[in-house]
Structure 1
Amino acid sequence: MNFRFFRTAIFTICMLFSINVFAAEDGPALIPQPVKLQKLPGSFKITKGTRLIANTENKEIAELFSAMIKAPTGFTLGNTAGGTSAIQLVINKTYNKQIGSEGYTLEVKPSKTTIIANLPAGLFYGMQTLMQLLPKEIESPNVVKNKIWSVPCVKIIDYPRFGWRGLMLDVSRHYFPKEVVKKYINQLAKYKMNVFHWHLTDDQGWRIEIKSLPQLTAIGAWRAPRVGLWWKRDPQAANEVADYGGYYTQEDVKEIVKYAQQRFVTILPEIDVPGHSLAALAAYPDLSCTGGPFKVNVGNTFYGVDDNALCPGNEESFSFMEKVLGEVAALFPGQYIHIGGDECFKGFWKDCKKCQKRMKDEKLNTPEELQSYFIRRMENIVKSKGKKMMGWDEILEGGLAPEATVMSWRGMKGGIEAAKMNHHVVMTPADNCYLDLYQGDPAAEPPTYSMLTLSSCYNFEPIPSEIPDPSLILGGQGNLWTESVPNYRHAEYMTWPRAFALAEVFWSQKERKGWDGFISRMERNLERYDVANINYARSVYDATIKPLKDSVNKTMRIALSTEIKKLDIYYTFDNTFPDNFSPRYTDTLSIPKGADHLRVLTYHNNKPIGKMITVSIKDLEKRTED
């Protein structure tokens, strides 16, 4: 064994979790960045004698704050007389237009901390800021002994840029139990996000109980178990048991909705139709154009081969959706229901007699117009339940339903088009907001597709210059599709810290943003995640490897880069592990004759900080062909 290389590898692993690139900013590490922060002398200390003062209308927020700090401090805060210090929650008697419905002011003095807001939501967000001002140990699930719970004295004025600040979790491709769904909601709320988009149905599973349609969960919630790469799996065999999956009962949903409401999070339920409906068709095959039988998809390729769309020529499809949306509307108090509308394969509609008759009767000329007809019918059902309809930007094709709100994911184009038609828009382009994409070099990450770096999230601007009325842009959200996310720990890894960046995009004013400052604050928030046992990615510290092919002589050179400019990259081609005595990257690399692998490692101040990445020259050649 070469012990030098062994020691280097172990040293690298040990250092990964202990180095920060940026010295801590002179001040609080708040995410998202507030509108205005003034540092004041002194500090406020929370002790077992601290009073928590709130009137009846703020009682739930006070109780939530008290519960949050009890686990790590052991203190039970109450409004008892004679306390040495106090935290007071106050609702304005006169509405403060500057801070609006979700803003707050927070003033920390040595003997008293005061949070003031127009509405309870503002108090909640002020409370989240106060939590971030406390030491990182406040995130501990257990009592931390001999800790001084000190808060720096500050004066903060804060309010959001956008009203829609969301995260989407796909629970169809993989079922996530009730308790981890609540954990996900809790984390997004801590960073002042206020929408949880719950993708409840798709080809790989139906996850919500519909009492009038019991087969949806008896059959549609279960598939044959598989691991391995998505779209490369073997389909379910004829006699194979379908026992992988699960679903949320209506009582589960009510519990999660209440949990979210306590954190001022609105849940947006999504029932994805007319495409992405294979799980529903497995339960009710007569709703298809072809009649089935169908199996819930296990992650094998089927698009364009198996029918996975509701038949818009069949009136029973609309009766089915009337039942589904009726029960969904009763469970979710938010104003929107998301009906999907994306990636619908229309090939089977062309050969369906019912669909062709529908097109003739309704004077529809194309399959896109038939989908638009279906979506308009969905909007009518949604409106009849007292809700508004939202859909992915494909609902623009064939004509947009009159009052639909568009969620723009295929870039910004669909959102711009909808806004020009005077429709509301939520911007969530895949290139900035799809959290299932690679966040670092593919050679160092679990398999998925494409790329979305932390800086691409942070640099996202939700309002394009082409928008005539910026108020039509409600905000934006990050989306975690879970084809390649089989468990909750990996869901956390894919979400954080990229969701930190998006939280700041959606809350903070543009002029308050800055990459270096964000990285410094991110590092200190990741320390809090270490205390809380929340998983996250450190991919921002890794090198990215980009092969460059000369168009004339066909030779390949290699460019290395990092998102953080203060890092050094060391590399080897000789099958040894790189360290800071290896060549340091300064310019594009030629590949030495006979080299079969490239290894790279990032350093900061002569200490390793990123993962060592190993990639074969053959794989780099393939990258130039993609």
Structure 2
Amino acid sequence: MAELRTALVLGASILALSASAASAAPASSLVPLPASQEIIDQASPVAIAEGARIETPAGDADARAAADYLRDLTERTRGLGLRVASAGASPAVVFRRDPTVAGGPEAYDLRVEKGRVTISAAGGAGLFYGAVTTWQLMTPDAAKGPVSIPAQRIHDAPRFSWRGLMIDSARHYQSPAEIEHMIDWMALHKLNVLHWHLTDDQGWRLEIKKYPRLTEVGGWRVPAGAAAQADIDPATGKPRLYGGIYTQDQVRRIVAYAAARHVMIVPEIEMPGHALSAILAYPQLGSDGPAPAAIQSDAGVFPYLYNVDDKTFGFLGDVLTEVMDLFPGPFIHVGGDEAVKDQWKANPAIQARIKALGLKDEDALQSWFTHRMDDFIVAHGRRLIGWDEILEGGPLPASATVMSWHGVDGAVTAAKAGHDAVVSPAPVLYFDNTQARRPDEPPGRGYLVTLKDVYGFDPAPAGLSDDQRAHILGLQANLWTEHIRTDDRLTAMAFPRAAAVAEAGWSPQGRRDWLGFAARMPVQFERYHALGLPADPAALEVAVDQSPGDAVGQASVRLSTQLGLGQIRYTTDGSAPSPSSPAYASPLTVVLPSTLKAAAFADGAQVSPTAESKLDALSVLRRTSQQLQSCSGKLVLNLEDDGPPRGPRARFMVDVINPCWIYPEVDLGAISKLTVSVGQVPFNFQLGADRAKIPLHAPATANGELEVRLDRCDAPPIAVLPLPPARPGVELSTLSADLPKLSGRHALCLSFTAKSLDPMSVIDWVQLVPAASASAKAGS
């Protein structure tokens, strides 16, 4: 997908690197790194060729499934056709049951010696993970055909039992095929828990047969913005609906698909908050009368909570009964987060219920609510799990598990009280945060969470005793999808960062090392490409940041990579970089115009794709909204335009609580003009009291203006650019203005005037025009 630069990183260019990258690969290319791996230098490697046989014990269904999985992966990546049989001569790979393999049901031993690969495990999951490791040993590069595996011994078992990803299907629907794809990608990283977020304010995706209106109403909505309102469905004559649901038959197939890959699915049914979609379907469930359907396309925290009468609990019990019939795993997630209590406070009947129950306040009522649902769940042989807000208002139910997203404090509190916990802290494990400051990064939250940031997170909180630490089940990364509307973007936001989650959850802490992990990433990306996994390539790429040089006609260029792998080498004459090209050590001074190409090299091999940037007098002065600074950084989002309904859309980095941008360090003595591309996005954010704090500056003209200020955002404007009237079908407008003659380096502060918040004007890019260019254009 071009928008994610996949063609660059995961296409022909990375395949061209395969042979050289293999020679630079680390001693182990396994992800996650196994608990122990011993290379046997004196023993002969094991060759795997076309037609090689995989042997499984007769009648062992788990072993047969693992062998079939290995065969399929090998054919898809190396193009080798292997045979699976229970008996025969000279097997190349042997699966065997061994109850003595230590480490639990996911552990395995792997021996590459005596002419074969032997995978031993006590449990089916161990056999499966041994197959995954064997496949990785067979794919140390992107080559096709026979492969030789060095002789070695591996013993492997996970550090934590919960190694998860959460997929939010409520905000944006993913196809069943995409859910299965994500399960496949998880299994290949030894991730074993899919937390499936199925209900929220914006959608109810799960078919509940007793309450069909949940999906009839909650499964579909009109997206926010004028473009969606104008996108008329000819079949209905109304704005086209967006959404989707999962039937119970589809869910059963997905659950079985996951189980075959040793992935447990944990369903989440939100309560008592995030309940708008259910209340829209059945208004009697709510605490404060009818809710407006139009706000279902908003993001943020809604005030709509379930009622606390017996009929509501009857409804929730009916729903969970059907949920538990679909999902056989031990955990049922009830949410519990962000339950704003305003409606409970204002409802006389609920206040009377609080008094009758002898509760202190609304937080205590939520605790009582959680206990009541826990009683129901436990009576059905399951365990309740909820976000860390379930700790508030009173002690937890005895068997309840906490998922800690406000840092790790909730997990620490739970573990000290004897409760199990999963660490899932924002922002580092919130994968809706951006991975790089690139204009073509997928939309999401504007906080930067790189692959290295994720790898640096340790799931074991400090300050716990050994007994308390045993309550930390593991970790989980979350894919919230308020701004992730396509399947490919979901995968790109997850990977490669989920590989870092996998290593944190599986590998012993003492074996984890960022540089070693980074060295294994180029090979891992080759595997991604071979399987069609559209991972975000930002971690591999060389980032090129350009700015004006000290003299006219020059640019200052900074080069960097997230991995920090090898040495960056570059050219400025248009030729491809090589191991003998100049090495980058400090910011470059480049004569304009030039074409700069750069790539990273390690041990003489290229370990990144080649980055190419054309540098000229205008490019060094152009900044996208992703490259500008936020004035206050309160709630920065990388938003997508609401139109066109189909096809590519512009993306804008904006602080929705303070929409204001800063272009720093501008040499105004060399600048004569400012050109800005602007757009509009719907203001569909539930911000509660924060909405009233958003500054609105009165416009002087009918459509408002873009105001440019010097150094301070409260200074008088030095330029005012009137906005044009809104034009249907036109998403972006270009504004230009001359700047006053000033000297010195200054920051430019840019903000809009407006009569209302909706729609919100936003900056796409800013182009400063040097005085020489403006004069030359005027003369022509």
**Alignment-mate amino acid for residue 368 of structure 1:** D
Q: Which digits, 9 at most, give the CA deviation of each residue in 1:498-530, with x for residues without a partner?
A: 011110000000111111211121110110111
Deviation, 1:18, is 5.3
Query: Paired residue for 2:258, among 257, 260, 273?
Result: 260
- Residue 45 of structure 1 corresponds to 48
1:85 to 91, 96, 111: 91
- Of residues 288-297 and 472-481 in structure 1, the stretch that sits farther from structure 2 once superposed is 288-297
Q: 1:74 aligns with which of 65, 81, 89?
A: 81
Deviation at 1:609, TM superposition (A): 4.1
Q: 1:243 to 1:43 in 2, by over 3 A?
A: same
Tell me, yes or no, if structure 1 residue 445 matches structure 2 residue 441.
yes
Range that drifts further, 153-162 or 442-451: 442-451
**Deviation at residue 416 of structure 1 after TM alignment:** 1.1
1:388 Cα deviation after fit = 0.3
On the 8 A contact 2:542/2:600 being kept in 1, the answer is no
Most deviating of 14-23 and 106-115: 14-23
Q: Are 1:309 and 2:305 counterparts?
A: yes
Structure 2 Cα separation of the partners of residues 502 and 491 of structure 1: 16
- Aligned partner of residue 444 in structure 2, secondary structure: coil
Counterpart residue identity of residue 50, structure 2: T
CA distance, structure 2, for counterparts of residue 426 and residue 295 of structure 1: 34
Q: Which moved more, 1:343-352 or 1:441-450?
A: 441-450
Tell me, in whole angstroms, the C-alpha distance in 2 between the residues paired with 1:502 and 1:55.
36
After TM superposition, list the pairs within 5 Å mapping 1:193-204 onto structure 2. Answer: 193-204=191-202
Shift of 1:444: 4.9
Q: Of residues 334, 340, 351 in structure 1, which corresponds to 2:346?
A: 351
Which of 617, 623, 634 is equivalent to 1:616? 623
- Higher mean alpha-carbon deviation, 291-300 vs 181-190, is at 291-300
1:161 Cα deviation from its structure 2 partner:
0.5
Q: Which amino acid letter does the alignment assign opposite residue 498 of structure 2?
A: A
Contact 1:206 1:279 in 2 (8 A): yes
Structure 2 CA distance for aligned equivalents of residues 355 and 432 of structure 1: 38
Secondary structure of the 2:270 match is strand
Aligned to 1:530: 529
Q: In the alignment, which residue of structure 2 is the partner of 1:60?
A: 65
What is the match of residue 713 of structure 2? Answer: none
Once the 2 structures are TM-superposed, how far is the Cα of residue 439 of structure 1 from its aligned partner? 0.7
User: Cα distance 1:27–1:317, how it changes in 2: closer, same or farther (>3 A)?
Assistant: same
Residue type at the aligned position of 2:70: F
Q: 1-side partners of 2:230 and 2:279: how far apart?
A: 16
**Highest relative contact order (Cα 8 Å, sep 6+), 1 or 2?**
1
| Aligned residues of 1:117 and 1:123 also touching (Cα < 8 A) | yes
Shift of 1:126: 0.5
Question: Letter of the aligned partner of 2:452 in structure 1?
Answer: S
TM-score computed with the length of structure 2 as normaliser: 0.68
Q: Could you tell me how far 1:26 is from its partner in structure 2? A: 4.5
Query: How far apart, CA to CA, are the structure 2 residues paired with 1:511 and 1:38?
Result: 16
Aligned pairs, number = 583
After superposition, the Cα gap between the structure-2 partners of 1:248 and 1:577, relative to the gap in structure 1 and judged at 3 Å, is farther
Which amino acid is 2:586 matched to?
T
Structure 1 residues 543 and 155: CA distance shift in structure 2, 3 A: same
Aligned equivalent of 1:271: 269
Deviates more, 1:269-278 or 1:357-366: 357-366
- 1:5-42 residue CA offsets vs partner (Å, 9 max, x unmatched): xxxxx99x985775698963343410000111122332
Rg larger for: 2
Q: Match of 2:471? A: 472
Q: For 2:13 and 2:25, locate their aligned partners in 1 and report how far apart those are by CA, in whole Å.
A: 22
Equivalent of 1:460 in 445, 457, 477: 457
Residue 112 (structure 2) pairs with residue 108 (structure 1): yes
Residues 126 and 621 (structure 1 numbering): CA distance in 2 closer, same or farther, change over 3 Å? closer
**Greater CA drift, 199-208 or 611-620:** 611-620
1:157-182 deviations in whole A, cap 9, x for unaligned? 11110111111111111111112211
Structure 1 residue 335 displacement after superposition: 0.6
Instruction: After TM superposition, give the deviation of residue 603 of structure 1 in Å.
Output: 4.0
Q: Secondary structure at the match of 2:297?
A: coil
- Name the SS for the 2:177 alignment partner: helix
The counterpart of 1:401, out of the listed 389, 396, 401, is: 396
Choose from 113, 117, 122 the match for 1:118.
122
Aligned-residue sequence identity (percent) comes to 33
Task: Output the TM-score relative to the length of structure 1.
Answer: 0.83
Structure 1 residue runs without a partner (length 5+)? 1-9, 548-556, 590-598
Equivalent in the alignment of 2:136: 132
Q: Closer, same or farther in 2 for the Cα pair 1:99/1:477, shift >3 Å? A: same
- The equivalent position to 2:356 in structure 1, one of 361, 368, 374, is 361
Amino acid aligned to 1:153:
A
2:15/2:526 contact within 8 Å kept: no
2:420 to 424, 432, 439: 424
Amino acid at match of 1:367: E
Q: CA offset at residue 253 of structure 1?
A: 1.2
Give the CA deviation at 1:586: 3.3
Q: Is the 8 A contact 1:203 1:297 kept in 2?
A: no
Aligned pair partner of 2:330 in 322, 327, 335: 335
What is the aligned partner in structure 2 of residue 32 from structure 1?
Answer: 32
Counterpart for residue 186 of structure 1? 184
Q: Report the Cα distance in structure 1 between the residues aligned to 2:571 and 2:147, rounded to whole angstroms.
A: 44
Partners of 1:364 and 1:262 lie apart in 2 by: 46
1:78-102 alpha-carbon deviations (Å, 9 max, x no partner): 2343x34342211124x33x33221
2: CA distance between counterparts of 1:302 and 1:175?
Answer: 17
How far, CA to CA, are the matches of 1:77 and 1:14 in structure 2? 33
Q: Name the structure where helix makes up a greater proportion of residues.
A: 1
Aligned to 1:384: 379
AA matched with 2:46: S
1:217 maps to which residue?
Answer: 215
1:454–1:498 Cα contact (<8 Å) kept: yes
Change (3 A) 1:603 1:74: closer
Q: Is the 8 A contact 1:47 1:149 kept in 2?
A: no
Gap change, CA 1:440 and 1:343, over 3 Å in 2: same
CA RMSD of aligned residues (A): 3.8
Shift, 1:434, TM fit: 1.1
Deviation at 1:424, TM superposition (A): 0.6
Q: Aligned partners of 2:202 and 2:575: how far apart in 1?
A: 43
Report the Cα offset of residue 340 of structure 1: 0.5
Amino acid of the structure 1 residue aligned with 2:56: I
Q: Describe the SS at the equivalent of 2:492.
A: helix
Query: Residue by residue, what CA displacement relative to the aligned partner does 1:245-291 show, whole Å, maximum 9, x if unpaired?
Result: 11111111111111111111111111111111111111111111122
Tell me the alpha carbon deviations over residues 375-414 of structure 1, each in whole angstroms, 9 at most, x when there is no partner: 1112112112210000011111112422210000111111
For the residue of structure 1 that corresponds to 2:66, the secondary structure is: helix
Match for 1:461: what amino acid?
D
Q: CA separation of 1:562/1:524 partners in 2, compared to 1, >3 Å: closer, same or farther? A: closer
- Contact 2:277 / 2:296 at 8 angstroms: preserved in 1? no
2:246 is aligned to: 248
Q: Which amino acid aligns with 1:90?
A: R
Structure-1 residue corresponding to 2:616:
none
Residue in structure 2 matched with residue 499 of structure 1 by the alignment: 498
Change over 3 Å in CA distance of 1:611–1:512 after alignment to 2: farther
- Residue 161 of structure 1 contacts residue 506 of structure 1 at CA under 8 Å; is this kept in 2? yes
SS in 1 for 2:165: strand
Amino acid in structure 2 at the alignment position of 1:60: A
- Alignment CA distance shift 1:221-1:577 (3 Å): farther
The CA distance in 2 between the partners of 1:32 and 1:166, in whole Å, is: 14
What is the rounded CA distance, in whole Å, between the counterparts of 1:165 and 1:611 in structure 2? 38
